[in-house]
Amino acid sequence: MPLVTLDYQDASTRTLSPVAPHTIDPSKKTFIHYLPLCATVFLLLAPHPSVIFVVVKYHLLTLEEPLLLCVHLAAIYTLSFLAFSSLIVCVARDPGPVNLLDEPGRGEGDGLMVSNDVDFNGPGKWCRECWAPKPERAHHCSHCGRCVLKMDHHCPWLGARCIGHRTYPAFVHFLTCVTLLATYIAFMNGFALWFAFNNVLTLDEAIYLHELSLFFAGVIFALVVGSFLFYHVYLISTNQTTIENLSAFMLLRHLPPLPPSNNGGRMLSDPPSEHELTYEQRYIVREAHGAIRLYDIGWRRNWGQVFGWEGRWGWIPRLLYGGGSKGDGKSFVRNPRSDDMLATLAAELVKAGKDN
């Protein structure tokens, strides 16, 4: 009797397990994973007692302008409501299931049928962690133990969740609302501070501490969160994700077959790996990364791909909580010039290898 029995199956009927043995089960997150989310909620709620104190003491009792008080409260609590609505979407919505196994209603016993035309060795087309096909622009998150469609990044501040195809608009909506809220609070308390310093004897001493705290907190959050917001505005305008923008060597997996090197030189795999490149070749890839934007189809269409809607009232979800991106998240329109630029990059890499 043999010690090991191999059970061969035809690739067309092969069934894959939804979760590899060494991946992380997302359902086993402990309370520690949600502590940053609790900190996010606390930071959103912490300013409100001081805000109410300032608007009542300053705008109502000192200036005697109840209408201005109502305007400030309406603006602040509208932005707070919108921030919480998009925060809930980022935490509760699946960022983007790669296959049917990740969709609700599929049991753990259900398998994934793999056809014969799947390129198992194709770079970026097969996840060796999930052991399943990986669509274009999808990435495997080691924290969540799964692949995510058009993954942007893993965010511990939003319940240790990934930001992907279905939650990226809500994430940008959240950054926008928090930036506007912090800016509004900073300006409101800046004017209040200016009045307080010019009318020292007419105001309660306690109001100075509240106004000063709100002003500096608003400035700090507006600068910190606002910088992330402007960064993602740039990413949307150029149709990039955070991973694609920061990982220059991801271009290597999109290279066409390398031209033959007849004059010798260092041989590269096809496509090459990062560790195979010389210093000069690495420099060439980094320089090309700033110019080759594979999915940039014009800023209007780029924004439409992320925030576009269909139907007459599709703008309402975008306004309330950010909505979701258009398309299935598995296929994307390419920049028509990207193939020529990738071919040029491949030729330059081979030429740099000859020189070394």
Catalytically active residues are: 155
The 3-state DSSP composition of the chain as helix, strand, coil percent (nearest 5) reads 55, 5, 40
Strands 139-141 and 146-148: antiparallel
CA distances 219 to 180, 181, 198, 242, Å, are 11, 10, 22, 25
3-class state of residue 263 by DSSP: coil
Q: Taking Cα atoms as reference points, which of 269, 279, 293, 275 lies closest to residue 346?
A: 269
Contact 150, 137 (CB under 8 A): yes
C-alpha 138: how far from chain center = 12
Alpha helices in the chain (DSSP H): 35-45, 48-54, 66-92, 168-198, 206-238, 242-246, 279-289, 299-307, 315-320, 338-355
Q: Taking Cα atoms as reference points, which of 184, 182, 175, 185 lies closest to residue 227?
A: 175
C-alpha 3: how far from chain center = 49
Contact 152, 243 (CB under 8 A): yes
CA dist 118 and 12 (Å) reads 10
CA dist 344 and 288 (Å) reads 10
CA dist 233 and 248 (Å) reads 20
